[in-house]
Amino acid sequence: MEIPTGQDEKFMRVALNEAREALNRGEVPIGAVIVAPSGTIIGRGYNLVETLTDATAHAEMQAITAASSALGGKYLTDCTLYVTVEPCTMCAGAMAWSQLGRLVYGATDPKRGYSRHGRQLLHPRTGVTAGIMEEECGGLVSDFFKKLRA
């Protein structure tokens, strides 16, 4: 099935809204959505690590769990995951297990991002697009840490 690529900014805006929900709770502002080939959003999530006191509660993990539940199946082969910041190795591993069709992220994360360890942490068939709304996505996180340290 062909995965549409023409609405990346539209869906990244939805992921940014999820990130703002995290911000409202005092969490590192990262958000994610998963979109079916029809263009329907089937999963959403934002970082809840502090709220749930659970280091695994990243935006992408919640979105993957939600999307799998919505589909009634563990594979997201034809789906696109939008996330405001480059996924970490844990989330990349989750994407590999769910055989994600396409990953679109905003800001890069040179310190914690999966790509530092190489592309092979993802499933070989997962397409990747980076840098969509990069400034807005990255700015949200850097502003958060600037205020935290102020």
Identify whether the C-beta of residue 95 lies closer than 8 Å to the C-beta of residue 60. yes
CA 112 to chain centre: 14
Per-residue binding string, a copy of itself, 50-69, x by CB under 8 A, is x--xxxx----x--xx--xx
Which neighbouring-strand residues pair with 45? 32
By the rule CB under 8 A, 92 interacts with a copy of itself: yes
60 is catalytic: yes
By the rule CB under 8 A, 79 interacts with a copy of itself: no
Considering CB under 8 A, how many residues would be counted as binding a copy of itself? 30
- Comparing CB distances to a copy of itself, the nearer of 16 and 64 is 64
By the rule CB under 8 A, 10 interacts with a copy of itself: no
Q: Which residue in 96, 109, 128, 134 binds a copy of itself (CB under 8 A)?
A: 96
By the rule CB under 8 A, 137 interacts with a copy of itself: no
Which neighbouring-strand residues pair with 107? 85
Q: What is the C-alpha to C-alpha distance for residues 36 and 102, in angstroms, rounded to an integer?
A: 11
- Active-site entry in 2, 9, 18, 60: 60
Q: What ranges make up the beta strands (E) of 10-126?
A: 31-35, 41-46, 80-85, 102-107
Q: Which of 3, 14, 38, 4 is nearest to 106 (CA)?
A: 14
DSSP 73: S
Tokens of 116: 């530092």
Q: Which residue in 32, 83, 91, 141 binds a copy of itself (CB under 8 A)?
A: 91
- Comparing CB distances to a copy of itself, the nearer of 49 and 130 is 49
By the rule CB under 8 A, 32 interacts with a copy of itself: no
By the rule CB under 8 A, 121 interacts with a copy of itself: yes
- For tokens 């068939």, the residue is 125
Q: Which residues are catalytic?
A: 60
